[in-house]
Chains A and B, each alone.
Chain A
Amino acid sequence: MAHDTHDSGHASHVDHAALGEVHEHPTWKQYKWVALILTVITVVEVWVYYIPSFVASRLFIPALLIMSAVKFAIVVMFYMHLKYDHKLFRVLFTGPLTIAILTLIVLLFLFGHLAIHAG
């Protein structure tokens, strides 16, 4: 940290290239909408948790997984700026994430939590 603290030169502005930004970041208004959407999705998630008929239905788990994935993607794209940053960062994040999720799915099959019923 101290290293940067005493830098001079053109240090009076943000070095967007070094930060890997290829597009402008969102504005306050966009951040506000993102926060609102995240809150609404969270409220819906908790709401459906308290509907016994929905919990008993086949849609319950897929619906929760989809809502969670949407929240995850929104935070990563807008708050972590992955949508606006260099593609190398996307590769560094989505590569390990893909491997991890595939491993999780394989483990669930292996231990009998998931199954494919043929015929």
Chain B
Amino acid sequence: MATSAVVGHGGAHATHGGHPPTTTGLDHRKIAIWAFIGSECMLFTSLISTYLVYKGRSVSGPFPHEVCNPPQCATTLKPILNIPVTSMSTFVLLMSSLAMVLALAAVENKDKPGWAGAGWWARQLESSKLWLMVTAILGATFLGFQAFEFTSFVHEGLTIRKNLFGSSFFTLTGFHGAHVTVGVLWLLTLFAIDVRRGLGPKDALLVDISALYWHFVDVVWIAIFTLVYLIR
């Protein structure tokens, strides 16, 4: 997809897009997004740590994987996590990552008509607007699943103030949902720019940065899905 192998990070050739050369030869914005992602790793690991440390220490139900019987609960409560629904939302988020890499590839190769080959599918692959919109829609679908999950939990008696599980669970997944929301807004902004003036190879870095953010949100969910939902 990307055309050629590259090299040198010396810096002499690094003038690009009107920006001054950098000592690394790399664009500062890309270094910044990776540094940001590194810091986000620490943020989410602290939230996951909190969840795991509090795991199994709630004195009242509902519980994530266990049935809650009286007198711990007023009535018998079934395990609250809905694995089929969350599995579906996990799949949706994984597919959104695929759509995102296709959007980036379409933008990078915009100046090479026919780069994806011939035929109907190849023409779709070349449409950055399509893949940006698909990614945003899949992200919004994930948020819909999360809204459904949160609502059903509240109806079943689990709130952020109910017990240790509720506090740590809503904080962790809520932070993740907020990140997905920012990502969807970012994608819609890129889509609007694409519609208005078209995104091309010169904009590849902008899309690359948003793609890195989006994939990071995806990998965080991969960890949450296993550590929170599947491990009992």
Contacts and interface: CB of A to CB of B under 8 A. Distances in A.
A65 to B, nearest CB: 7
Interface string B199-232: 0111111101001100110110011011100111
Contacts of B41: 93, 96-97, 100
Contacts, number: 207
Nearest to B116: A28
Contacts of B52: 104, 107-108, 113
Contacts of B193: 1
Interface string B33-74: 011011101100110110011010000000000000000000
Nearest to A84: B2
Contact of A88 (B24, B208, B225, B232): B24
Category for how many chain B residues contact A: 35 or more
A45 B230 contact: yes
Contact of A79 (B49, B100, B116, B205): B100
B14 A28 contact: no
Interface string B179-204: 00000000000000100010011111
B6 A17 contact: yes
Interface of B: 1-9, 13-14, 16-19, 24-27, 30-31, 34-35, 37-39, 41-42, 45-46, 48-49, 52-53, 55, 83, 87, 90-91, 94-95, 97-98, 100-102, 105, 108, 111, 116, 125, 193, 197, 200-206, 208, 211-212, 215-216, 218-219, 222-223, 225-227, 230-232
Q: Say whether chain A's binding surface is mostly helix, strand, loop, or mixed.
A: helix
B1 A75 contact: no
Contact of A24 (B1, B27, B219, B227): B1
8 contacts: A13-B111, A17-B25, A20-B9, A21-B6, A26-B101, A32-B98, A35-B97, A93-B37
